[in-house]
Amino acid sequence: MPQSDCLDVVLYKDRAMDVINSAQTEYKKIETKHIDFFPKIIEKMQTSTLNQQITQDSTNEVETVKLNLMEILRSIELLTSQVNDDHKEFQKTISRYEKVIDKKWKQDITIASNPDAFVDKEPVLQRTIALHFIRQGKFKLVDTFMQDTQLMDFTTDLQEQFDHMYEILDAINNFNLELALEWAKSKRKELEQRGSSLEFDLHRLHYIKYLVKQQDRKGALNYARLNFNDFQTRHMHEIRRLMCAILYIDRLESSPYADLTSNDAWTDIQTTFTRDFCNLLKMSCDSPLYTSLTVGSTALPTIIKMATIMKEKKNEWSQQDELPVEVPLTDDMRFHSIFACPVSKEQSSEDNPPMMMPCGHVICKESLNKLSKGNGRFKCPYCPSESTSNQAVKTYRTVFSRMATRDVILGLIIVAADAEILTYFDMKF
Amino acid sequence: MADRFDSDSLLALEKAFLKVPLVQLRGSTSKAYKNFEKESKHLQTQIKQLQNEIALNNKVDADKIREIHENIEKWLGSSKLEFLEAHREGQKHVARGRQRVDHLSEVSLITNIYDPKYKEWTGKRADRVIVDYLLREGFRDTAIQLARESDIESLVDIDLFTEAHVIEQALRKNRCTEALRWCNENKSSLRKINSTLEFILRVQEVIELCRENKREEALKYSKEHFKAYIDVNKKGVQDVKKTDSQSGPIRRRDNVKTISSDDPLYKQYLQMMGALAFPPNTTCKPYKALYDPIRWERLIARFRIDFYELNALPSQPLLNVTLQAGLSALKTPMCYQHENKNIDCPVCSPDTLGTLAKDLPMNHHVNSTLVCRISKKIMNEDNYPMILPNGCAYSRDALAEMASKNDDKVTCPRTGEVYEFSKCKKLYIL
């Protein structure tokens, strides 16, 4: 991370903490004010001279009554103005805090949204929410939601799947792996094809359970004999290591196998299991709604800033195909390979695909056409070699479909390591 | 970029979250105070009157003195009760506000996005955002259940939305009473935002009376309620125009909203009066429109806007705002190409989020990205792409990990073919 970025992070963090801290201080003030505001008023009402005045016996003497009434009036005025002052002061405290909030959140967040974007899509949005509830195992909530929205009950099948998943996860949480193993065995082929070693990982953990939790040498050995056989081709190395660990069963913590005792393995296996289970259902590990919302709140400051500037310039952006600025994404939120032309800085599209020149550098078609101005010779912007535009190859369609790396398309250049691989590009250099 | 953790943006949504209990606190105290003050003024004039009387007649009416004494006692007694009640009510809001500030402070404990606390906090936020949506859409039972299950009842505004829901339901049944009561309770705040809600509610009431052919009552009603708005004295209207021509459509004068003759509301008023002459089945266009039930939908929409604004709530559900931002940020052209879908990408689900994202702009990218299909990690100089003999390329880390677990063999997840790791070749990104 470049230094300026680091600074940014520190500053950001400070700014957020500033707000939280000042919110806390201001809130303390409101709390204390509130706690003594009303008792103070009530006390004033009780100790007010009014109470004595009105209990005084009213004689019929005109002058006394006059005086008494004047006193009462003055007391009422005094009491009212005192309460008024207190009330005003309390409201002021609230206003001060409101100002702190307004200062931090200057923009109305709705500036970042297009109120019409989801019009007529309410059922889709509700379906998304229902799926989100199912993904979290909130089945009773789904039932209520179905009643509230009168959506069709479309999800029973999926509900059963996730019910099963949560049952297994629950068991793992209680250090019981039987259910998970049963499932993994039934899906062995699919898992292996995905390159997942879940089944072995589960057996491994089960074996470790004998070793660490029960310190049962015999049980561990038996378990290994019974279950490791199926995995010897793929996991020989690890199996050897596990078997060696049995020698240190009494003092694993101080042995070279101390890592086996870590409890993290039990949380890790839950993550792996959830991922594999969802992936076999052709679903993501996290609920997509959760992912989108998390990305959304990170994206909002950038979009709000952009929308504010666009509004000042009276430019419309929400109807366009592409945002005018890049919303930064964390690496785990980048799901697709993207080719941005290094010359025009535009993303490739169907009409404007990336083109590879004979030298191996890739730029988009429009930039290529501009450089070659029709059909003439031109120099690659990144190296001294010259080429003509008809020598360039559409990477998307030809080269990469042959390579089957459609989603690995190119960084600025991909140069294969040796001539053998260059044949995959089907190009002669 | 990778682990960049920006707690500032973590708080992007939280303005209303902090503000709503404040607005409620303010409301709960000022009601008791207003009554106290009103009654105090009333008493003061009463006493002054009596003083005048005594001065005039030089005689004391003992009954009147007693009455005043009683009134004062009543005033003090009921004010005390009201203040105590307001205190209880306010305490609730203060506690909620405190819980919210504390909830936000938990952000300071999160160190990076892989921290389990991060997931816990953002998960709670997702629940809050969904509850907000459910409440706005009127799915109350689901909202309450979700809030309870996720233990976020103090972090969402169920009571507030319930209040709005009741009024909306009444409007849906073509009844204005509840909405008008709400307008009355929030008179000064509504005036501050130049709300026309009460006016159009009144217009609707007259229209409904006309619909039922109760013209006499309609006439009476409009006489009673529109006096405050329409200044019959023409000179008055002109005066207002001269002094206040810069301000909004509804002018304030002596705490009464008045409407000038070129105001659209005035036209509406004239039209409404005209409706007295036309039956509900009229074909005459402007009057037909007045009888259109769609006016009720508009009333509800208007009410919502004002209700949300008064309570410091954003006009759009947080879910819509956040989701749109998120989907735009994630959207790429590849999400809609079958062979390039990634099951982890939310926009790639065609039936749900993909449909929602359809009309949204996609993110702008100035740099290329290579994503490994196995590990879903970004490929770069440290984690470079490696190409398998079948032509598929994946990140080094993912292949190496697979090889270490599988006796130095790698399985291509696309084709299922198995290769020796050593047969994989490095690709250079320059």
User: Given this model, what pLDDT does residue A391 score?
Assistant: 66
* Alpha carbons B299 and A346: distance in angstroms, whole number: 46
Mean pLDDT of all residues in A334-343: 81
Q: What is the pLDDT of residues B98-138, one digit of tens each?
A: 999 999 888 888 877 788 888 899 999 999 999 999 999 98
Question: Which candidate from B123, B149, B353 shows the least CB-CB separation from A138?
Answer: B149
Task: Please report, to the nearest 10 degrees, the dihedral formed by the alpha carbons of residues B110, A32, B309, B268 taken in order.
Answer: 180
Determine contact, residues A136/A163, Cβ cutoff 8 Å: no
Question: Which candidate from A24, A349, A424 shows the least CB-CB separation from B391?
Answer: A424
A194 SS3 class:
coil
- Both B93 and B225 in one domain: the answer is no
| Closest approach of A376 to chain B, Cα-based (Å) | 26
Please check whether residue B138 lies inside any domain of the structure: yes
Mean pLDDT of all residues in A50-76: 75
* Alpha carbons B117 and A77: distance in angstroms, whole number: 56
CA angle B274, B276, B280 (to 5 degrees): 105
* DSSP H helices in B212-352: 215-226, 234-244, 264-275, 285-291, 294-310, 318-330
* DSSP H helices in A187-287: 188-193, 198-208, 217-227, 232-245, 264-280
Please check whether residue B239 lies inside any domain of the structure: yes
CB-count burial class (<10 Å; 0-12, 13-18, 19+) for B264:
exposed
| pLDDT surpasses 70 at A82 | yes
The pLDDT-based confidence of A7 (bands split at 50, 70, 90) is very low
| pLDDT surpasses 50 at A416 | no
Please check whether residue B286 lies inside any domain of the structure: yes
Determine contact, residues B361/B329, Cβ cutoff 8 Å: no
Question: Which candidate from A140, A233, A283 shows the least CB-CB separation from B343?
Answer: A283
Please check whether residue B208 lies inside any domain of the structure: yes
- Which chain B positions have a beta carbon within 8 Å of A67's beta carbon? none
Of B120, B135, B160, the one marking the end of a domain is B160
Lowest mean pLDDT among A40-49, A144-153, A266-275, A306-315: A40-49
Question: Which candidate from B44, B365, B402 shows the least CB-CB separation from A326?
Answer: B365
| Closest approach of B180 to chain A, Cα-based (Å) | 26
- The partner residues of B222 in beta bridges, in order of sequence, read none
Q: What is the pLDDT of residues B386-395, one digit of tens each?
A: 877 776 778 8
The residue with greater pLDDT, A389 or A1, is: A389
Lowest mean pLDDT among A5-9, A333-337, A401-405, B309-313: A401-405
| pLDDT surpasses 70 at A247 | yes
**ipTM associated with this complex:** 0.81
The residue with greater pLDDT, B153 or B252, is: B153
Distances (CA, A) of B193 to A101, B306, B308, B316: 19, 8, 12, 18
User: How many of the other CB atoms lie within 10 Å of CB of B35?
Assistant: 16
Instruction: List all residues of chain A from 61 to 100 with a beta carbon under 8 Å from chain B.
Output: 61-62, 65-66, 69-70, 72-73, 76-77, 79-80, 83-84, 87, 90-91, 94, 97-98
Portion of chain A with pLDDT greater than 70, in percent: 81
The mean pLDDT of chain B is: 82
Q: What is the pLDDT of residues B324-356, one digit of tens each?
A: 999 999 998 888 877 677 888 899 888 889 999
Instruction: Spell B82-98 as b/e; 16+ CB within 10 A means b.
Output: bbeebbebbbebbebbb
Kindly calculate the radius of gyration of chain B based on its CA atoms and give it in whole angstroms. Answer: 33
* Alpha carbons B201 and B205: distance in angstroms, whole number: 6
- Both B203 and B286 in one domain: the answer is yes
Tokens representing B249? 């459509």
Determine contact, residues A399/A427, Cβ cutoff 8 Å: yes
The pLDDT-based confidence of A409 (bands split at 50, 70, 90) is very low
- Both B153 and B168 in one domain: the answer is no
Cβ–Cβ gap A110/B355 under 8 Å: no
- Both B72 and B194 in one domain: the answer is no
- Both B63 and B181 in one domain: the answer is no
Nearest Cα to B135, choosing from B175, B110, B164, B102?
B164
Cβ–Cβ gap A404/B414 under 8 Å: yes
User: Given this model, what pLDDT does residue B245 score?
Assistant: 40
- Both B155 and B165 in one domain: the answer is no
Please check whether residue B259 lies inside any domain of the structure: yes
Cβ–Cβ gap A141/B146 under 8 Å: yes
| pLDDT surpasses 60 at B178 | yes
Please check whether residue B362 lies inside any domain of the structure: no
The residue with greater pLDDT, B229 or A255, is: A255
Distances (CA, A) of B329 to A154, B124, B336, B353: 29, 22, 15, 13
Residues 6+ apart with CB under 8 A from A398: A426
* Count of the separate structural domains present in chain B: 4
| Closest approach of A96 to chain B, Cα-based (Å) | 11
- Both B169 and B303 in one domain: the answer is yes
Q: What is the pLDDT of residues B356-375, one digit of tens each?
A: 998 899 998 887 777 787 77
User: Given this model, what pLDDT does residue A186 score?
Assistant: 92
Please check whether residue B2 lies inside any domain of the structure: no
- Both B167 and B304 in one domain: the answer is yes
Portion of chain B with pLDDT greater than 70, in percent: 88
Determine contact, residues A23/A101, Cβ cutoff 8 Å: yes
Determine contact, residues B369/B332, Cβ cutoff 8 Å: no
Residue of B nearest to A200 (CA): B405
Query: Which helix (H) or strand (E) covers residue A27, if one does?
Result: helix A3-47
User: Given this model, what pLDDT does residue A180 score?
Assistant: 93
- Both B42 and B118 in one domain: the answer is yes
CATH code, B374: 3.30.40.10
The pLDDT-based confidence of A205 (bands split at 50, 70, 90) is very high
| pLDDT surpasses 60 at A419 | no
- Both B336 and B228 in one domain: the answer is no
Choosing among B5, B13, B18, which should be mutated to test the A contact, i.e. which has the most A CBs within 10 A? B18
Instruction: List all residues of chain A from 102 to 131 with a beta carbon under 8 Å from chain B.
Output: 104-105, 108-110, 112-115, 117-118, 121-122, 124-125, 127-129, 131
* Alpha carbons A110 and B316: distance in angstroms, whole number: 6
- Both B97 and B180 in one domain: the answer is no
Distances (CA, A) of A383 to A357, B123, B290, B381: 11, 49, 73, 20
* Alpha carbons A153 and B358: distance in angstroms, whole number: 25
- The partner residues of B409 in beta bridges, in order of sequence, read B420
Mean pLDDT of all residues in A344-349: 79
| Closest approach of A428 to chain B, Cα-based (Å) | 17
Mean pLDDT of all residues in B229-246: 44
- Both B54 and B121 in one domain: the answer is yes
Domain of B17 in residue numbering reads as: 7-160
- Which chain A positions have a beta carbon within 8 Å of B5's beta carbon? 9, 13
Mean pLDDT of all residues in A114-129: 89
Please check whether residue B1 lies inside any domain of the structure: no
Lowest mean pLDDT among A418-422, B219-223, B243-247: A418-422
